[in-house]
Amino acid sequence: MLKDEITIRIVGNLAVMFPESNLDQNRARFMIDEILNDYEVQPMPMSLVPIENDIQQKVKLYLTVKALDGLSPITLDNYRLHLKRFAFYFAKPIDQITTIEIRMYLSRVTQGMKATTLATAISVLKSFYKWLCEEEYISKNQMSKIKQPRVEKRIRDALTIEELEILKESCETLRERALVEFAYCTGCRVSEIESVNISDINWDNLNLNVIGKGDKERTVYISPKAKIHLRKYILSRTDQSSALFVREKRPFTRLGVRAIQREFNSLGKKANLNRNIYPHLMRHTMATLTLNNGADIVSIQEMLGHTNPATTQIYARITNESVQQAHRKHLVQ
* Catalytic one of 58, 283, 284, 317: 283
Any idea what the Cα angle at residue 268 is, between residues 263 and 274, rounded to 5°?
A: 155
**Radius of gyration, CA atoms only, the chain:** 24
Say how far apart CA 230 and CA 224 lie, in whole Å: 10
Residues 125, 94: contact at Cβ < 8 Å? Answer: no
Residue of 159, 179, 185, 186 lying closest to 305 (CA atoms): 186
Is 284 assigned a catalytic role? Answer: no
Is 317 assigned a catalytic role? Answer: no
* Catalytic one of 82, 189, 229, 284: 189
Is 254 assigned a catalytic role? Answer: no
* Catalytic one of 213, 227, 237, 254: 213
Is 280 assigned a catalytic role? Answer: yes
Say how far apart CA 252 and CA 254 lie, in whole Å: 7
Instruction: For residue 305, count other CB atoms closer than 10 A to its CB.
Output: 22
* Catalytic one of 58, 60, 66, 306: 306
Residues 41, 2: contact at Cβ < 8 Å? Answer: yes
Is 85 assigned a catalytic role? Answer: no
* Catalytic one of 315, 317, 327, 329: 315
Is 250 assigned a catalytic role? Answer: no
* Catalytic one of 85, 156, 237, 280: 280
DSSP 8-state class, residue 192 = H
Residues designated as active site: 189, 213, 280, 283, 306, 315
